[in-house]
Amino acid sequence: MLEPSHNDELPPIPGKRYFTIGEVSDLCAVKPHVLRYWEQEFTQLNPVKRRGNRRYYQRQDVLMIRQIRALLYDQGFTIGGARQRLSGDEAKDDTTQYKQLIRQMIVELEDVLLVLRK
């Protein structure tokens, strides 16, 4: 099962609807040119493009990027292997995405709890 160990060290995803490529780069610890390359390699990555071809990523895109990052950097998959893993084991990938989402929600709820205690 995919257990992205490094994803625990990544910053929590803010509660926004859209993220710029720079914000996603910071959230996922991946440079913008790598994100643009991954868009060509992984059909699952399809950010909304607006005026001037600007990319706007949604929360599920950020989670997918973190998952791709974990496959490539933490687990040592090649691009082809990661692509095959993402397209072949979709049920397993969904589970991993839900785990990441739950982890994110826990962090956000802990932040809310800290604010409420003040």
For position 109, what pLDDT does the model report?
87
Tens digits of residue pLDDT in 9-20: 788 888 889 999
Q: Which helix (H) or strand (E) holds 72?
A: none
pLDDT band (50, 70, 90) for residue 88: confident
Please give the Cα distance from 115 to 111 (Å, whole number).
6
Alpha helix ranges (H) inside 6-89 = 21-28, 32-41, 59-69, 79-88
Check whether residue 83 and residue 94 sit in a common domain: no
Q: How many domains does the chain have?
A: 2
Place of tokens 């709820």: 109
Check whether residue 31 and residue 78 sit in a common domain: yes
For position 102, what pLDDT does the model report?
82
Range of the domain at 14: 1-87
Check whether residue 79 and residue 103 sit in a common domain: no
Tens digits of residue pLDDT in 2-11: 444 444 578 8
For position 1, what pLDDT does the model report?
36
Tens digits of residue pLDDT in 44-57: 898 998 888 899 99
Asked if the model's pLDDT at residue 70 lies above 60, the reply is yes
DSSP letter for each residue of 97-112: HHHHHHHHHHHHHHHH
